[in-house]
Structure formats: structure tokens, C-alpha cells
Amino acid sequence: MSKPNLTDVIAAKNRIENYITRTPLHRHLALEKIVGTEVHVKHENHQKLGAFKIRGGINLLAQMSTKDLEKGVSTASSGNHGQSIAYAASLFGAKAYIAVPEIANPGKVQSMRNLGAEVIHYGEHFGIADQYMRDLSNEKGYKYINAVEESQLYAGVGTYALEIMEDLPDVDVIIVPVGGGSGACGTCITAKSINPNIEVIGVQGERAPAAYNSWKSGTLQQAEMSSIAEGLATNKGYEPAQSILREMLDDFILVSDEEMEDAVVMYLEHTRNLMEHAGAASLAAAIKIKERLKNKKVALIASGGNLSMEHLLRALERYKD
């Protein structure tokens, strides 16, 4: 599977721009006091459907043949990718079939159904749901889409990094959440093609470290997955993401569920933005490594804002205590 390049990202931008929101890159002075350097937030929580994944889904389905669209498209998702495919399918006239874990965010599931997708709850985590949908698609003839293995998703989501480069060309560091790795790959490909000196740092949850372990070891790893951050919750490393990240990602760090919860509350208190745990992970990471970020212009990828009411109340309870 070929690695996308900057040309692919620019083509994706032209392909999807009429369907998406060009999200703001806001400088937040309150966050700068916490992190100790210049901080800009890429607000993908303001994106249609509340997350960055929509960029990849539209880019992929826009290039699909009529024959494949007529088969129906299928995927597995912990939430935001599923919304992306459901939305893109509604745009291009395909039926979408989406497997989600049994504990999937109810709001994200309802959004997929509102967009016309058939949603199937299966298994305790993304990996199990994904294998189920692979098998079902073989049986039914659906056009199966893996959330991480399809590289045209990377080109689509890389368009948010292109927007960062347009708005803040002298950015020094971009911190990006990592689940399977499509967002981080898109960021690396885009930013480093424009300026190889930009440092791209990935962040994943301590309780779902499969991509981190795979990157560290140089081989695809499986890991226990119990993080509250559903957007970062993958149980194994995937190609071609890992090959791209090993080549291009400058560093990779882990944050705890509690650090992400604190960052959710910080966003709410200091910027009046609702973030899901994955979307807040980059802020949690910036706080954790604040000493090495001094005197640098930092962009944080706020990848999504689709936080469930249950998880919001839990974060606020910690804050209250």
C-alpha cells in the first residue's frame, strides 16, 4: 500500500473542501499560562460531526467506483470514524454498515444511525468489532474499509495539518493524538513535507498503548486496552501507519486517563470548548513535557469534541473533588 504524499493531501483538500468546515486555529492565552509557551489549538471539535475523521471518509468515498458504492460500504469504529463513513456514504449514495464495540459512545452511535447507517454492536473493543465486520463483509460482499489500513484516509485527515501550515507557517511543534495513527500520519506527511524541521509528537493513553509499543519496538504489538479515551482505544498496531510513524514521528508519549480528564476540564474552564478525552490528550501531553516546549510555537490537535454525558460528569466530579 503506497504512502500518501503532500500532493495527495492537496488533492484531498480540493476534493473535500465543499463538504467540510475549515476549522479555526485559536491562540488561547489561558492555556499558555498553564503550558508556559505559545499555544495554538486546531479546533477539529468545531468540525462537522465534531471530529477530524470526516475529512478522511469523504476523501476515500469520493474516489470510490460506483460499483463499490453500490455494494455498500462497511467499517468498524469506536465512534468518530464510523460517523465519517456514515456521512460520506450519505453524500455519495452508499449504504453504510458499521460495527461498534458494545460500550460505544451512545451519542456517536445515534449520530451514525441518524446519517442512515446500520450499526451493529459487537465485542468489547474495536479490534473485535473490526474482525467481525471484516468477516461479515466477506460474506455479504460489502466494500470493507479499515479505519487505519486505508491510506487515503491519511491524505484526507492530513488536510487539517495543511490548514495549520497556512495559518501558522512558523509552527515549531505539533502534538497529535494517536489511536490507530491516521491523524498522526497525515500530520507528519503534511507538515514535514512543507518544513522538515517541524517536530511532530504523538500521544496515546497509558491504558491503551498498542500504537506506542509498536512504534517503540519497531514491530506490530498488541496491548491491553482499558482507557477511557475511546478515540485512542486500539488494541494493536497497524500498517501502513506504523511504518510512516517510525520514519517521520519525532517522539511519542503516554498520558494517563486522569491527565486527559484534567485536560477536558481545562478546555471547558479556560476556553469554553467541550473536548472528548482523545481531543484533550494533546493538551495533557503538552503539560507533561512543558519544560521542553519553552520558547516554541506549539499547535495542539483537538481531534474531537464528542464527549458522552457520562464521561463529562465523571470529569467534573474529579474537578469538584
pLDDT at 125: 87
- In degrees rounded to 5, what are phi and psi of residue 276? -80, 170
Domains and CATH numbers, the chain: 6-51+152-320 (3.40.50.1100), 54-149 (3.40.50.1100)
Confidence label for 98 from pLDDT (cuts 50, 70 and 90): very high
Q: What is the pLDDT of residues 170-187, one digit of tens each?
A: 999 999 999 999 999 999
The three cell numbers locating residue 230: 475511546
Nearest to 161 by CA among 8, 315, 58: 8
Q: Over range 197-226, report the average pLDDT.
A: 96
* pLDDT for the residue 317: 87
Residues 206-216 have pLDDT tens digits of 999 999 999 99
| pLDDT tens, residue by residue, 248-303 | 999 999 999 999 999 999 999 999 999 999 999 999 999 999 999 999 999 999 99
Task: Provide the pLDDT for residue 79.
Answer: 85
Report pLDDT for 1: 56
Average pLDDT estimate for 192-197: 98
Neighbours of 308 (CB within 10 A): 16
How high does pLDDT run on average in the chain?
95
Listed in order, strand segments (DSSP E) in 28-122 are 38-43, 73-76, 96-100, 118-121
Beta carbons of 77 and 85 less than 8 angstroms apart:
yes
For 151-166, write each residue's pLDDT tens digit: 999 999 999 999 999 9
Q: Which residues 6+ apart lie within 8 Å of 292 measured at CB?
A: none
Radius of gyration of the chain from its Cα atoms, rounded to whole angstroms: 18
Q: Average pLDDT, stretch 6-30?
A: 98
pLDDT at 95: 97
Answer for the pair 227, 276: CB distance below 8 angstroms, yes or no: no
pLDDT for the residue numbered 321: 62
Query: What does the pLDDT read at residue 234?
Result: 85
Cα gap 301→150, rounded to integer Å? 21
Q: What is the pTM of this model?
A: 0.95
Which three three-digit cell numbers place residue 30?
489561558
Q: Is the pLDDT of residue 48 over 80?
A: yes
> Which pLDDT score, from 0 to 100, does residue 103 have?
87
Residue 235 predicted with pLDDT over 80: yes
- For residue 230, what pLDDT is reported? 83
List the grid coordinates of 57: 471518509
- pLDDT score, position 318: 78
Per-residue confidence at 127, pLDDT binned at 50, 70, 90? Answer: confident
From CA 15, how far away is CA 18, in angstroms rounded?
Answer: 8
Contact yes or no for 144/133 (Cβ under 8 A): yes
The mean pLDDT of 113-131, rounded to a whole number, is 94
